[in-house]
Each structure stands twice: as structure tokens, then as C-alpha cells.
Amino acid sequence: MRTNILDIQKLKDRGERIPMVTAYDYTSAQMADRAGIPMILVGDSLGMVVLGYDSTVHVTLDDMIHHIKAVVRGSRQALVIGDLPFLTYTTVDQAIQSAGRIMQECGAQAVKLEGGAEVAPIVRRLVNLGIPVMGHIGFTPQSVHQIGTRVQGKTSSGAARLIDDALALEDAGAFGVVLELVPAPLAREITAHLRIPTIGIGAGVHCSGQVQVWHDMLGLYSDFKPRHAKRYASLVETVEAALQTYATEVREGTFPGAEHSARMDEAELQAALSQSKAGKA
Ligand code: KIV
């Protein structure tokens, strides 16, 4: 049975912290699922870590659909949340179309969208239609060209706005809120004032749960390490070393060995040669 949003709320109510991770394909979804991660986010961070764009702004709904489908196929237990990408929820009607595709075509169990009080009417309508919605406030990567990449809510007015945004999302029916790059003490207060779980990234330990980007936490880059990410593995070195060994063995002729090669009876081969044009020449 897949985790649903009621299970996630129960974790929060029991005071159990909630791990969430991003995934973008079948194989990584299988691994996250086997590791017992209850929520997998197919984030539009896909644009940067998988597709090589410089921001999430370039990601289309079709890009998301392609990857969300793979993650749903790869997972059995986790609640799969699909990100609504940039400019796909500018009106209630457009949001219904976009979220509908993520739920119906992909089989995701929820969507996530960025924004606070200003998107509350959209969240309310989606939730009323039976689409679970996760909010996302603080640093919202789709607004990178407006706000840059920096911690949000450091001033009293900015912090008050984030508190009100979180409350507006909860009131609209969101089942959780991502707090990205929010000062830890502010994230603690937001969490204390909400009934629904907060999921932090760069927002401190007092959130109800945490989310990390797959490539960041597994060390799949050699050159980039965001401050809010902890490297639980350094796969880039492991993978590059394996690829170098492979290339060397191919060049030297030590791969493939007999154990990696298909066999054939030598007599059959000789008979084939004599029957073929090669044998008659
Ligand atoms: O797209 C994404 O991966 C996200 C997380 C960083 C929360 O939105």
C-alpha cells in the first residue's frame, strides 16, 4: 500500500520526523522506496541536475510528466509528489489542467507548487477537486530572476509574510509546506504554528521533515555543493573511477572476458563458415 497524505499527517502528529528525497527516474525511485523514504518529490530541480539547465525556469510540463511517470513506475510504497513547473499554474483553470495531467497521466498522488497567500485560491480549488497539494515558500527557485538565490525572511516584515503565507496555504488545504532557505528560528516558529507538516531544505532541524536533492546528497557533482546539502555519499568519484577502469579494460582487451561473452559450439561455427559465402570464396 502506498503512503498517502493521511499517513504523512499521522507522522507529524506522532512527532516523527519525515524524510523526503527527490528522484527523477525509475531506478532511483526503486532505491528511495527500498530505503523506506515515505515521500518522493519529482522536483523541477530536474532541470538543473538531470537536464543541464541553469535554472528551473526552462522545465516544461512535458519534461515533468516524462520523469514523474518513471518515478511512479519505480516506486510502490512512497507518496509521489510531482512539481508543477514554471508558468503552468498561472490561473485556476490552467492549474487544474496541469495538475490533472500529473495525477491522471503519471499516477502521482500529489502536486507541489511555489508561492504563498497569492496561490492560496489555486491550492483551495485543486484540493476541493481531490488533488493533494504541497506548498513551497521561502526561496522559490522559479522566481530566481526576481529574488536571486538567498535566504528569505531575515527581516521582520519578510518573516511575518512567510508566517502568513504558511498559514494561508494551510487554510487553503495544503497537506504540507516546503520551507526552502528560511532561517532556522523562523522555520521553528512556522512549524509550531501549523497543523500540517513543514518540510525543510536549508531551514534547520525544527521542521517536521527534511528534503534533499538526490544529486546533492549522493555527491554526484565534482564541482558544486550547496551549503544546505549534506553529502551522504561521494558517488562522483566512485562512478568516474569505474568508468575509467572500464575504458582501460576495453582498450587493453581485458573486457569482456569469457564470462561476459555468449558461447557457441566450435563445430557449429566451422559448419556455418563452410555453408556461408565466406567459406565458399
Ligand atoms: O525541485 C525541487 O527539487 C524542490 C526541492 C528542492 C524542494 O523543489
Q: Does domain 5-233 have CATH number 1.10.1740.10?
A: no
Amino acid type, 1: M
229 lines ligand 1 (CB under 6 A): no
Q: Which atom of ligand 1 is nearest to the CA of 199?
A: 7
Q: Whose CA is nearest to atom 8 of ligand 1?
A: 43
Q: pTM of this prediction?
A: 0.95
State the burial class of residue 155 (Cβ atoms within 10 Å of its Cβ: 0-12, 13-18, 19+): exposed
201 lines ligand 1 (CB under 6 A): yes
Residue extents of the structural domains in the chain = 5-233, 238-280
126 lines ligand 1 (CB under 6 A): no
- Rounded distance, CA 139 to CA 129, Å? 28
User: Which of these, 212, 223, 210, lies nearest to 23 by C-alpha position?
Assistant: 212
| Residue 227, pLDDT score | 84
Please report, in tens digits, the pLDDT of each residue of the chain (281 residues total): 899 999 999 999 999 999 999 999 999 999 999 999 999 999 999 999 999 999 999 999 999 999 999 999 999 999 999 999 999 999 999 999 999 999 999 999 999 999 999 999 999 999 999 999 999 999 999 999 988 888 889 999 999 999 999 999 999 999 999 999 999 999 999 999 999 999 999 999 999 999 999 999 999 988 767 888 999 999 999 999 999 999 999 999 999 999 999 999 999 999 999 999 998 76
User: Which of these, 143, 52, 64, lies nearest to 101 by C-alpha position?
Assistant: 64
User: Which of these, 43, 44, 68, 41, lies nearest to 56 by C-alpha position?
Assistant: 44
Tell which one of 178, 181, 218 to mutate to probe ligand 1, the residue whose CB is within 8 A of the most ligand atoms: 178
User: Which of these, 140, 129, 115, lies nearest to 57 by C-alpha position?
Assistant: 140
Exposed e or buried b per residue across 19-36, where buried means at least 16 C-beta atoms within 10 angstroms of its C-beta: bbbbbbbeebbbebbeee
| Residue 281, pLDDT score | 67
Q: How many A from CA of 213 to the centre of ligand 1?
A: 7
CB 151 within 8 A of CB 182: yes
> Is 114 annotated as a binding-site member?
yes
Q: How many A from CA of 253 to the centre of ligand 1?
A: 44
CA 229 to the chain's CA centroid = 14
> Is 44 annotated as a binding-site member?
yes
